[in-house]
């Protein structure tokens, strides 16, 4: 058994399809004068083939993953149009009398080094794109086949060092049952892809590639992070059984899709919604029975590009989501950039504590042009479904008033121009700074709803950086201080006749479900795949039982005690 990181849940058993790198031999010998023209022709042909390959990959990526994810291939294509770059290779062949593949490698090396030394992080990362392009051209010149996952004819388990965006974009999703890779962590590209495709995956497995051959029998246990190669009969039977049980569990969850998220005694009904990053994610949300979108992270619209998205581009994205989810509601969070999320084209100050810095609503209130464009796009899209707006990182009432003043200007403007929008559109805030949670009674007067962002609320409350693995044991959603803040927010909103949702990871954490339900949370928003699990727990509890658990949890001394109270209910 090989131990890795459990990146995407589920169990699969199948035949290995190994994505191996072929060795590349670069001929460094000098060539004769007559051969120069031949080499330049080879290079030109390789470029033409690469363009064709990339056009196809881009088309497929656009179809399957959306325009924004396909953007990376545009960058690759642009490099193949860059005559300065290409002429440098041609000149090197001529000047040094060397083969096309050698000249290409030398030029690419110089470019990579140049990009790696650039201060700007975004440009520095482009070195990887140049390497990708260089590899593709060398393989085309030498007629080395590009192994691809595009034309599979049988179900397989993909074994690879790592999966690049072009691998997954081309992948024939009907035939890939699971992934196991040597590289990557829980947030690597492979892991994220596997979770969004809802197929099991294990990443970070040592020496997997050298031990696996095409056709080997492989078990991928994405629940525990185990990979078995050619397992013995006993292990195989054990996993056949486990896979069946897991499938039955998934089936059971599927049955819940159209049932309400209400308690066993029907005394309490809540709303289960999905968090999304792009319009494409709506399909997964609906498949899992989401009753709405509780958090649309709009940052992705602003990333992986070289300038701010236009009002029109944003309008199209928001309209697509509004229409896909109608009549369900969609909460659009205004731009939450800063902290760990940077935009290469936007001048951001170097900060000692970026998480406590110029981010989210703070930046947007300084750069009102950016917020205004976004609000206008949202308001225009609000005519096509049920949209709500939510401001991130609010710490006081003034920020809400300032943002709302801008929103009013946008509305007045649309009114004057006779452009339709939803006049009843609700506006809320994320409660993710402890100060906001403490003064929730004051803020409740300014909003229609709250959504608790526990990812940040926990890190600020306990003073634990959510990205720092050295202190990850202290990052504790069930810390009594966190529970008390959550209770304060819910109670304050209810006293003011408003409602409270939660869109941090805690909303999809089944250990917390009984407590949050008992505290009176109205809406739970999470990654779509978690919805059925949370619903199953809500439907198995009475409201009174959940309230008892919550009451006891509020008096508990530490997270362990709270976890025991909660887990006793459904394990
Ligand atoms: C949160 O902080 O809980 C949240 C949902 O926002 P993000 O994870 O995007 O910071
Ligand atoms: Mg946040």
**Residue 494 domain-assigned (yes or no):** yes
Note whether residue 26 is domain-resident: no
Nearest bound ligand to CA 277? 1
Look up the CATH number of the domain holding residue 542: 3.20.20.60
**496-518: burial string, b at 16+ Cβ within 10 Å, e else:** bebbbbbbbbbbbbbbbbbbbbb
* Range from 31-45, 124-138, 279-293 carrying the lowest mean pLDDT: 124-138
* C-alpha of residue 393 to centroid of ligand 2, in Å: 7
Mean pLDDT of the chain: 91
Q: Which residue has the higher pLDDT, 260 or 173?
A: 260
Establish whether residue 336 lines the binding site of ligand 1, counting it when its CB lies within 6 angstroms of any ligand atom: yes
Full domain range(s) for residue 475? 261-570
Domain co-membership, 111 together with 165: no
- 85 and 204 inside one domain: no
Nearest CA to ligand 1 atom 6: 453
Asked whether 297 lines ligand 1 (CB < 6 A), one says yes
For ligand 2, an ion, list residues with CB under 5 A. Answer: 432, 453, 456
Q: For 42-95, what is each residue's pLDDT tens digit?
A: 999 999 999 998 888 888 777 766 676 677 778 788 889 989 889 999 999 999
| Judgement on whether residues 124 and 214 belong to the same structural domain of the protein | no
Q: pLDDT (tens digit, 9 = 90+) per residue, 474-510?
A: 989 999 999 999 999 999 999 999 999 999 989 998 9
The secondary structure of 198-227, three-state, reads CCCEEECCCCHHHHCCCCCEEEEECCCCEE
Residue 214 domain flag: yes
Query: Is 69 inside any structural domain?
Result: yes
Does 535 lie in the same domain as 431? yes
Between 435 and 65, where is the model more confident? Answer: 435
| pLDDT recorded at residue 170 | 72
pLDDT at 571: 40
Q: Ligand 1 in contact with 43 (CB < 6 A)?
A: no
Residue 299 within any structural domain of the chain: yes
**Where among 123, 142, 161 does a domain terminate?**
142
Indicate which residue's Cα is closest to atom 3 of ligand 1.
453
Whether the pLDDT of residue 8 is over 60: the answer is: yes
What ligand is nearest to the CA atom of residue 393? 2
Output phi, psi for 562, to 5 deg: -65, -40
Q: Domain count of the chain?
A: 3
* Mean pLDDT of the 28-50 span: 93
341 lines ligand 1 (CB under 6 A): no
Give catalytic residue positions. 189, 503
The pLDDT > 90 percentage for the chain reads: 69
Tell whether the model's pLDDT for residue 187 goes beyond 80.
no
Distance 515 CA to ligand 1 centre (A): 20
165 and 137 belong to one structural domain: no
Q: What is the mean pLDDT of residues 205-227?
A: 94
Determine the distance separating the centroid of ligand 2 and the alpha carbon of 455, expressed in angstroms.
Answer: 6
Position 21 in a domain? no
Which atom of ligand 1 is least distant from the CA of 432?
Answer: 2
Pick left, alpha or beta for residue 467 (phi over 0 → left; psi -120 to 50 → alpha; otherwise beta).
Answer: alpha
Q: Tell whether ligand 1 has an atom less than 6 A from the beta carbon of residue 454.
A: yes
| 481/440 same-domain check | yes
């Amino acid at each position: 058994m090989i131990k890795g990181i459990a990146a995407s849940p589920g169990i699969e058993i199948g035949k290995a399809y190994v994505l191996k790198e072929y060795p590349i031999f670069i001929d460094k010998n000098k060539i004769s004068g007559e051969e120069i023209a031949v080499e330049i022709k080879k290079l030109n042909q390789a470029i033409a083939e690469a363009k064709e390959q990339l056009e196809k990959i881009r088309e497929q990526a656009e179809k399957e993953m959306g325009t924004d994810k396909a953007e990376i291939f545009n960058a690759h294509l642009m490099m193949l149009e860059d005559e300065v770059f290409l002429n440098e290779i041609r000149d090197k062949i001529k000047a040094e009398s060397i083969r096309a593949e050698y000249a290409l490698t030398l030029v690419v090396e110089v470019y990579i080094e140049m990009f790696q030394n650039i201060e700007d992080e975004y440009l520095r990362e482009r070195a990887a794109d140049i390497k990708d392009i260089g590899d593709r051209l060398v393989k085309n010149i030498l007629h080395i086949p590009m192994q691809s996952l595009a034309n599979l004819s049988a179900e397989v388990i993909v074994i690879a060092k790592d999966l690049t965006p072009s691998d997954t974009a081309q992948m024939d999703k009907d035939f890939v049952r699971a992934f196991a890779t040597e590289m990557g962590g829980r947030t690597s590209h492979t892991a994220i892809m596997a979770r969004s495709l809802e197929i099991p995956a294990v990443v970070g497995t040592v020496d997997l590639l050298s031990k696996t051959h095409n056709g080997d029998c492989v078990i991928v246990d994405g629940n525990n992070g185990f990979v078995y190669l050619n397992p013995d009969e006993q292990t195989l039977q054990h996993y056949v059984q486990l896979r069946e049980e897991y499938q039955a569990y998934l089936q059971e969850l599927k049955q819940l899709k159209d049932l309400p998220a209400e308690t066993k005694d029907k005394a309490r009904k809540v709303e289960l919604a999905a968090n999304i990053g792009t319009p494409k994610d709506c399909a997964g949300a609906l498949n899992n029975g989401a009753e709405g979108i509780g958090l649309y992270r709009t940052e992705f619209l602003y990333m992986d590009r070289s300038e701010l998205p236009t009002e029109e581009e944003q309008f199209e994205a928001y309209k697509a989501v509004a229409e896909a989810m109608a009549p369900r509601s969609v909460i659009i969070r205004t731009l939450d950039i800063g902290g760990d999320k940077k935009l290469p084209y936007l001048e951001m100050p170097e900060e000692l504590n970026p998480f406590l810095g110029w981010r989210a609503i703070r930046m947007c209130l300084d750069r009102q042009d950016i917020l205004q464009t976004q609000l206008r796009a949202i308001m225009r899209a609000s005519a096509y479904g049920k949209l709500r707006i939510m401001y991130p990182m609010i710490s006081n009432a003034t920020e809400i008033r300032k943002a709302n003043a801008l929103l009013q200007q946008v509305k007045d403007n649309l009114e004057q121009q006779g452009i339709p929008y939803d006049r009843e559109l609700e506006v809320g805030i994320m409660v993710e700074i402890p100060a906001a949670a403490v003064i929730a009674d004051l803020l409740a007067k300014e909003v229609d709803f709250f959504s608790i962002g526990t990812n940040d609320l926990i890190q600020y409350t306990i003073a634990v950086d959510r990205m720092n693995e050295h202190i990850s044991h202290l990052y504790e959603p069930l810390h009594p201080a966190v529970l008390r803040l959550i209770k304060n927010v819910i109670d304050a909103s209810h006293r003011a006749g408003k409602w409270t949702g939660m869109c941090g990871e805690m909303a999809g954490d089944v250990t917390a479900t009984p407590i949050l339900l008992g505290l009176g949370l109205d809406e739970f928003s999470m990654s779509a795949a978690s919805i059925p699990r949370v619903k199953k727990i809500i439907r198995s509890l009475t409201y009174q039982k959940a309230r008892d658990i919550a009451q006891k949890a509020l008096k508990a001394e530490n997270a362990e005690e709270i976890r025991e109270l909660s887990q006793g209910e459904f394990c």
